[in-house]
C-alpha cells in the first residue's frame, strides 16, 4: 500500500480527481493527507468530507521562505509519503524541500512544457497565437516547471478562446491526466533515464 500526500493552495479540483480515481480504480494506495499553505483553501473542505486528514502550514506565519519550507517538509514527511503530489500548490519550493522528496515529488503545469513555464500560461498561449496548448505532469526538480515529463495532454486553442474558456476545457483534461500519472507512480511503472520518463509497459504518455 503506497502513501500519497497532496499539497494544494486553493480549489483543489485536481486533488479531488486523484482522490476519486484512487477510490474508483482501487489503487493500492491511500491519500494520507491533504496539506495546504492557505487556511481558506476550498479543497480542504472536500478532503475533510472524505475522511482525509488535513493540515495547514500557513506561509504567512513564517518570516523566511526557508523556514516555511522546512516546516512544510516536516509536516509532509510526518506522513511518510511514497508520492508527494503538488496540485495547484502556488508556492515555489526551495531546493532543500525538492531534494528531500526528489523522485517522488510531482507537479501538474497547465502548458506543454517546456513552453510557458511560470504563471498566466493560457493568456500567454492565446496571445502568442498558439493553436495547441495542454498540460504536463512532471517530476519536480530544483528548476521551476522543469523536470522529467511523465505525461502530457493536448487541447486545441479555438478562435475566440479566453483564459476562462481555455482553462476550463484544459482543466477537464488535467482531471484525467493527473490521476493517470499518479497511478503509474503508485504502480511503480515508470523509469527515468537521462531525464526521459518511460512507461515500462509502453502506455501512451500523451493524451490527444
Ligand atoms: C491547475 O490548472 C493546475 O494545472 C495548476 O493550477 C491549477 C490548479 O487547479 N497548477 P485546482 O486547484 O487543482 O483546481
Catalytically active residues, by annotation: 109
Among 12, 85, 108, which is best to mutate for testing ligand 1, by the most ligand atoms less than 8 A from CB? 108
C-beta 10 within 6 A of ligand 1:
yes
Q: Which of 132, 72, 107, 77 is nearest to 185 (CA)?
A: 107
Q: Which atom of ligand 1 lies at the shortest distance from residue 167's CA?
A: 2
Question: What domains are defined for the chain?
Answer: 1-101 (3.40.50.170), 107-208 (3.40.50.170)
CA atoms within 13 A on the CB side of 142: 6
What's the pLDDT score for residue 159? 97
Minimum CA distance residue for ligand 1 atom 12 = 12
Taking only the tens place, the pLDDT of each residue in 19-29 is 999 999 999 99
Q: Which of 199, 183, 196 is nearest to 83 (CA)?
A: 183
Average of pLDDT values for 89-96? 94
Taking only the tens place, the pLDDT of each residue in 124-179 is 999 999 999 999 999 999 998 899 999 999 999 999 999 999 999 999 999 999 99
CA atoms of 143 and 105, how far apart (whole Å): 13
Amino acid at each position: 500500500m503506497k502513501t500519497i500526500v497532496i499539497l494544494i493552495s486553493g480549489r483543489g479540483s485536481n486533488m479531488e480527481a486523484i482522490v476519486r480515481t484512487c477510490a474508483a480504480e482501487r489503487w493500492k494506495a491511500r491519500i494520507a493527507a491533504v496539506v495546504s499553505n492557505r487556511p481558506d483553501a476550498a479543497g480542504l473542505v472536500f478532503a475533510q468530507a472524505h475522511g482525509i486528514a488535513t493540515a495547514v502550514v500557513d506561509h504567512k506565519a513564517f518570516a523566511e521562505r526557508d523556514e516555511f519550507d522546512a516546516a512544510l517538509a516536516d509536516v509532509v514527511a510526518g506522513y511518510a509519503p511514497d508520492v508527494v503530489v503538488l496540485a495547484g500548490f502556488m508556492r515555489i519550493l526551495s531546493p532543500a524541500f525538492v531534494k528531500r522528496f526528489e523522485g517522488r515529488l510531482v507537479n501538474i503545469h497547465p502548458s506543454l512544457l517546456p513552453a510557458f513555464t511560470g504563471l498566466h500560461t493560457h493568456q500567454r498561449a492565446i496571445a502568442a497565437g498558439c493553436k495547441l496548448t495542454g498540460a504536463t505532469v512532471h517530476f519536480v526538480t530544483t528548476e521551476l516547471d522543469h523536470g522529467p515529463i511523465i505525461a502530457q495532454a493536448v487541447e486545441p486553442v479555438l478562435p475566440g478562446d479566453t483564459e476562462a474558456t481555455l482553462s476550463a476545457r484544459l482543466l477537464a483534461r488535467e482531471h484525467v491526466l493527473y490521476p493517470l500519472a499518479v497511478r503509474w507512480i503508485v504502480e511503480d511503472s515508470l523509469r527515468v533515464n537521462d531525464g526521459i520518463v518511460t512507461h515500462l509497459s509502453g502506455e501512451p504518455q500523451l493524451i490527444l
